[in-house]
Chain A
Amino acid sequence: MENKYKIIPLTGDQAAAEAMRQINPDIVAAYPITPQTEIVMTFAQFVADGIVDTEMIQVESEHSAMSTTLGACAAGVRAMTATSSQGLALMWEVLYIASGYRLPIVMPVVNRALSGPINIHCDHSDTMGARDSGWLHIYCENAQEVYEMTIAAIKIAEHPEILLPVMVCQDGFITSHATEGVKIFDDADIKKLIGEYKPKYPLLDIKNPVSYGPLDLQDYYFEHKRQQSEAVKIAKEKIPGILSEFNKFFGKDYGYIETYRLEDAEIAIIAMSSTCGTARSVIDELHKNNIKAGMLKIRFFRPFPAEEIVNACRNLRAIAVLDRAESFSNQGGPLFAEVRAALYNNVSIPVVNYIYGLGGRDIYTEDIKSIFSEVKEIASTGKVKNLVNYQGVRE
């Protein structure tokens, strides 16, 4: 039997806010920033209308937003915030504290380029900069996925053996401000699905006093970081089980990765977020011309699905990794570096990188077609001309 739902026209931002409405967190502390603004605005309206029980704390900066969320979460309640770009950058030091204290905060992030020069449009430089902050990262293709993954992220973060914060990312403007029909499931069903938050070490439990944030020197800091690595490893094992419960409910097949016509493909692109939608239609078109092209979409960047990527790519003859961020390593973007590291020693397939879409530069079907034709060339000649390419930039 299919679960009750309504299809409502929503932007990606509104879809995130709808998920937050159903999660009904005890505390939301947020500061508005383009293109996340609509999440905070929509949610603030829910609070004003008494639709949620949340106490909303309007803070003076994102540093305070994350600090307040962290404090509330340590106190023992479900706490959320949302941000973009410079806002995430301003949260920087507190991001590491949230993960270091093992606080299961879920935060929608609307990807936007970092200054300077100042830009308000989509790229992944903000969250890729927070790559090593100890947060789990989920990248969503469309508003439906934003809604469903935000809800699922609560259970991932709060799993007693994981206890890590999660950022649920969507592409600024492309996803956040475009309206699509989003299936919104029944409030009561979602409430039941995520259940109640049972904090492990609530600061306000005076019968079992705990201290958060003591000094941790040469003698124990390393052990705590080792525990964090372990938590990400455990997350890697547990997430499929957690997702299967949501998949059953949503009627989806969410996993670490998603493949599109990859089974019999010879060439493929690896990408994240909204670009995957564009790639699907290009792949269908290429198949009409008997070009065996496929796609591997990466949904979880942390934990990084290395084994899944290797297994899915085994039979390919050439791969292009699309990065919407530059790492300035002269060796390609962050996704490229990690995909290559995963493939190294396992398979020897030529892999090239395309950095694209920085500062919201559109990626058209023509761009993806041109990438595929270059990958096809690599597959037939076995020769890589340029390891790192910049797609869509003017010479």
Chain B
Amino acid sequence: MKNKGWKEIPIGGLIVKAGNAEEYKTGDWRTFKPVRDESKCSQCLLCWVYCPDSSIKVKDGKMVGFDYDHCKGCGICAKICPKKCIKMEK
């Protein structure tokens, strides 16, 4: 995404459109990446509850993976997972 010039952006650093934080790819900040061993997962969804960045993808009530565009790699999901099936990899 090409950054805009000073004439094209709202004044005062204001964000004048709601819900556009999604456009900011915080996944760039990540050092360690969460990887799940699906065979051990009990689908308790605790990772979804605890993820501070809404980066656990859930479909039809099931954990289906990570949103790596926004996951910052904090490791909370790995820590909280009762089945210890999430590993943080380099």
Whole-angstrom distance between the alpha carbons of A201 and B16 in the complex? 8
A37-45, A77-85, A221-229, A287-295 - interface stretch = A221-229
For A210, the chain B residues whose CB sits under 8 A away are 14-16
A102 to chain B minimum Cβ distance, whole angstroms, is 4
A220 touches B16 (CB 8 A): no
A212 at interface (Cβ–Cβ under 8 A)? yes
Of listed A209, A214, A220, A223, residue having the most chain B CB within 10 A: A223
Q: Which partner residue on chain B sits nearest A213 by CB separation?
A: B13
Whole-angstrom distance between the alpha carbons of A211 and B14 in the complex? 6
Per the 8 Å Cβ criterion, residues 193-245 of A in contact with B are: 201, 208-214, 216, 219-221, 223-224, 226-227, 230-231
A356 to chain B minimum Cβ distance, whole angstroms, is 38
Whole-angstrom distance between the alpha carbons of A106 and B16 in the complex? 24
For B5, the chain A residues whose CB sits under 8 A away are 223
Quick one: which of B6, B13, B18 contacts A209, CB cutoff 8 A?
A: B18
B11 touches A220 (CB 8 A): no
Q: Which partner residue on chain B sits nearest A216 by CB separation?
A: B13
A220 touches B9 (CB 8 A): yes
Number of interface residues of A (CB under 8 A): 23
A220 touches B12 (CB 8 A): no
The B interface, classified by DSSP as helix, strand, loop or mixed, is loop
In the complex, per-residue mask of B6-28: 1 if CB is within 8 Å of any chain A CB, else 0: 10011111111010000000000
Quick one: which of A100, A209, A226, A230 contacts B12, CB cutoff 8 A?
A: A100
A220 touches B13 (CB 8 A): yes
Per the 8 Å Cβ criterion, residues 168-186 of A in contact with B are: none
A254 at interface (Cβ–Cβ under 8 A)? no
A227 touches B14 (CB 8 A): no
B16 touches A226 (CB 8 A): no
A214 touches B11 (CB 8 A): no
A166 at interface (Cβ–Cβ under 8 A)? no
A226 touches B13 (CB 8 A): no
Whole-angstrom distance between the alpha carbons of A213 and B14 in the complex? 7
Q: Which partner residue on chain B sits nearest A225 by CB separation?
A: B6
A214 touches B18 (CB 8 A): no
For A101, the chain B residues whose CB sits under 8 A away are 12-14
For B12, the chain A residues whose CB sits under 8 A away are 100-103, 163, 201, 212, 224, 227
Quick one: which of B3, B13, B15, B16 contacts A224, CB cutoff 8 A?
A: B13
B6 touches A227 (CB 8 A): yes
Q: Which partner residue on chain B sits nearest A221 by CB separation?
A: B13
B90 at interface (Cβ–Cβ under 8 A)? no
Per the 8 Å Cβ criterion, residues 2-58 of B in contact with A are: 3-6, 9-16, 18
For B16, the chain A residues whose CB sits under 8 A away are 201, 208, 210
B11 touches A224 (CB 8 A): yes
B14 to chain A minimum Cβ distance, whole angstroms, is 5
Q: Which partner residue on chain A sits nearest B20 by CB separation?
A: A211
A211 touches B11 (CB 8 A): no
Whole-angstrom distance between the alpha carbons of A210 and B18 in the complex? 7
B15 touches A214 (CB 8 A): yes
A100 touches B13 (CB 8 A): yes
Whole-angstrom distance between the alpha carbons of A220 and B12 in the complex? 11
B16 to chain A minimum Cβ distance, whole angstroms, is 5
Subset of 21 A-B contacts with CB under 8 Å: A100-B12, A100-B13, A101-B12, A101-B13, A103-B12, A201-B10, A201-B12, A201-B16, A208-B16, A209-B18, A211-B14, A212-B14, A213-B13, A214-B13, A220-B3, A220-B9, A221-B13, A224-B6, A224-B9, A227-B6, A230-B6
Please list the 9 inter-chain residue pairs (A to B) with the smallest Cβ-Cβ separation, ordered nearest first.
A102-B12, A223-B6, A211-B15, A226-B6, A209-B18, A101-B12, A216-B13, A102-B11, A224-B13
Given A210-B14, A214-B13, A220-B3, 18 other A-B contacts at CB below 8 A? A101-B12, A101-B14, A102-B11, A103-B12, A201-B10, A201-B12, A201-B14, A208-B16, A210-B15, A220-B13, A223-B4, A223-B9, A224-B9, A224-B12, A227-B9, A227-B12, A230-B6, A231-B11
Residues of A in contact with B (beta carbons under 8 Å apart): 100-103, 163, 201, 208-214, 216, 219-221, 223-224, 226-227, 230-231
